[in-house]
Amino acid sequence: MLHVHHLPNQAPDEHLVLLLRRHPFIILGEIVKYTLIASLPFFVRFVLEQRASDFFEQGEFVVVSMFLFLAFELFIWLLLYRAFIDYYLDVWIVTNKRIINIEQIDLFHRRFSEQKLFRVQDVSSVQKGIMATLFDYGNVSVQSAAEQARFEFEQIPHPNDVARRINELIEHNKHVNPKNHERVDGG
Amino acid sequence: MEIPIVFFFVMYMLTLGAFFLGSAFVLYHAIKFGQASKLNTGAMSVYILVSVAMISFSLWYASIIDWASSIDLIVAFELIFL
């Protein structure tokens, strides 16, 4: 298991500043979606009772529909838990030295990447849409040196505060390790 | 066209096998990559408990069925769609 107090390849003077996940509204949306899908068989049963009430008088049909129902609900339950794992295992960690991006893209596709703070050149936040504005979540983009990939913190709560905090850490890092920044800036 | 209803039970058991396999993969990820937090362990416990309850119910339900009977698919189709 991942322990936030034991970061991967942790430097002696490194400590955790932010541990970020997607906004809880995102997983709530998944729960609502799967609850609606799980309730579909009840709707089908209601329609069948209206259209073909004889269907439920045949014992064998009830047995078969019951097993179909149970199989369907089991898979919806599995998909809901999988959505939770997908939500839970997407983590962005900000320490006083680096940014770590851990993404569970699919069940067998996991990405781990990190970026030293002194390499970061630009941090920006985006809140797009009604829900994102209402619930205060959005994306934070971390742009490093041109040849490096861009980090994207997706649908995290309080993106503006997070972007400001990362900028503060970068500024603090500049004072602590000016040589690193001079090297990146070409100074 | 009559199909013995035990055929549907066999299909259900195969589905159950796929469910166990999927659950094993998801739980493996939760244990290996997740944190030892209340949220993770709580969600895992709820998932296992609800799954066990649903499977227990299905097996209890299967135990009270007369598996010797069969289902006429044409009658079922006529009842639903005609």
Q: Do B19 and A89 touch (CB under 8 A)?
A: no
A58, A63, A79: best to mutate for the B interface, most B CBs within 10 A: A63
Q: pLDDT tens string for chain B (82 positions)? A: 778 888 888 999 999 999 999 999 999 999 988 888 898 999 999 999 999 999 999 999 988 888 888 877 776 666 666 6
Chain segment A74-109, per-residue pLDDT in tens: 999 999 999 999 999 889 999 988 898 888 887 778
d(CA A70, CA B56): 11
User: Positive or negative CA dihedral for A89, A95, A98, A99?
Assistant: positive
In the sheet where A137-144 sits, what is the strand order? A120-126, A137-144, A151-157
State ipTM. Answer: 0.88
Task: Determine the average pLDDT of the residues in A150-158.
Answer: 89
Query: Is the model's pLDDT at A37 over the cut of 90?
Result: yes
Which residue in B29, B55, B65 is closest to A85 by CB distance? B29
- All residues of chain B having their beta carbon less than 8 Å from the beta carbon of residue A81 are 23, 26, 43, 47
Query: Is the model's pLDDT at A183 over the cut of 70?
Result: no
Of A95 and A51, the structure prediction assigns the larger pLDDT to: A95
Chain segment A100-132, per-residue pLDDT in tens: 888 888 777 888 888 888 888 889 999 999 999
Task: Determine the average pLDDT of the residues in A128-142.
Answer: 91
Give the distance from residue A176's alpha carbon to the nearest chain B alpha carbon, in angstroms. Answer: 31
DSSP state of B37: -
Looking at residue A146, its pLDDT comes to 59
Which residue in this structure is represented by tokens 């209890």? B60
Size of interface A-B (CB pairs under 8 A): 97
Half-sphere exposure of B79 (CA within 13 A, CB side): 18
Distance, CA of A140 to chain centre: 13
Looking at residue A187, its pLDDT comes to 47
Of A165 and A176, the structure prediction assigns the larger pLDDT to: A165
Query: Is the model's pLDDT at A47 over the cut of 60?
Result: yes
Please state, rounded to an integer, the average pLDDT across all residues of chain A: 84
Q: Do A61 and B76 touch (CB under 8 A)?
A: yes
Which residue in B19, B75, B76 is closest to A74 by CB distance? B19
Q: Which residues of A touch B (CB under 8 A)?
A: 1-4, 48, 51-52, 54-55, 58-61, 63-64, 66-68, 70-71, 73-75, 77-78, 81-82, 84-85, 88-89, 102, 104, 107, 110
B30 close contact with A: CB closer than 8 A: yes
B47 close contact with A: CB closer than 8 A: yes
d(CA B29, CA A27): 18
Looking at residue B79, its pLDDT comes to 62
User: Positive or negative CA dihedral for B54, B59, B62, B63?
Assistant: negative
Which domains are delineated in chain A?
Answer: 16-187 (2.30.29.30)
Residue by residue, DSSP assigns chain A as -B-TTS-TT--TT--EEEEE---HHHHHHHHHHHHHHHTHHHHHHHHHHHH-GGGGGSHHHHHHHHHHHHHHHHHHHHHHHHHHHHHHT-EEEEESSEEEEEEEEETTEEEEEEEEGGGEEEEEEE--SHHHHHTTEEEEEEEESTTSPPEEEEEEESHHHHHHHHHHHHHHHHHH-HHHHHHHHT-
Q: Do B79 and A78 touch (CB under 8 A)?
A: no
